[in-house]
Amino acid sequence: MPYIREILTDGHPALRRVARRVNPKEIREPLFQQLIDDMFETMYAAPGVGLAAPQINVSKRIFVMDVHDDEHEPAVVINPKVEELSEEIELREGCLSVPGIVGEIARFKRAAVSGLDRHGQKIRIEGEGLLAQCLQHEIDHLNGALYIDRAKNLRPAVSEEEKETAEA
Ligand code: NI
Asked if the structure places residue 2 within a domain, the reply is no
Asked if the structure places residue 104 within a domain, the reply is yes
Dist. CA 70 → ligand 1 center (Å):
23
Asked if the structure places residue 108 within a domain, the reply is yes
Structural domain boundaries enclosing 145: 13-167
Asked if the structure places residue 96 within a domain, the reply is yes
Asked if the structure places residue 6 within a domain, the reply is no
- Distant-in-sequence, close-in-space partners of 20: CB < 8 Å, separation ≥ 6: 59, 60, 61
pTM of the model: 0.97
Catalytic annotation, residues: 138
Dist. CA 29 → ligand 1 center (Å):
27
Overall number of domains in the chain: 1
Strands, DSSP E only, in 13-97? 50-52, 62-65, 75-95
Dist. CA 134 → ligand 1 center (Å):
9
CATH number of domain containing 136: 3.90.45.10
Asked if the structure places residue 21 within a domain, the reply is yes
Asked if the structure places residue 160 within a domain, the reply is yes
Asked if the structure places residue 8 within a domain, the reply is no
Q: What is the pLDDT along the chain (168 residues), one digit of tens a residue?
A: 999 999 999 999 999 999 999 999 999 999 999 999 999 999 999 999 999 999 999 999 999 999 998 889 999 999 999 999 999 999 999 999 999 999 999 999 999 999 999 999 999 999 999 999 999 999 999 999 999 999 999 999 999 999 999 999
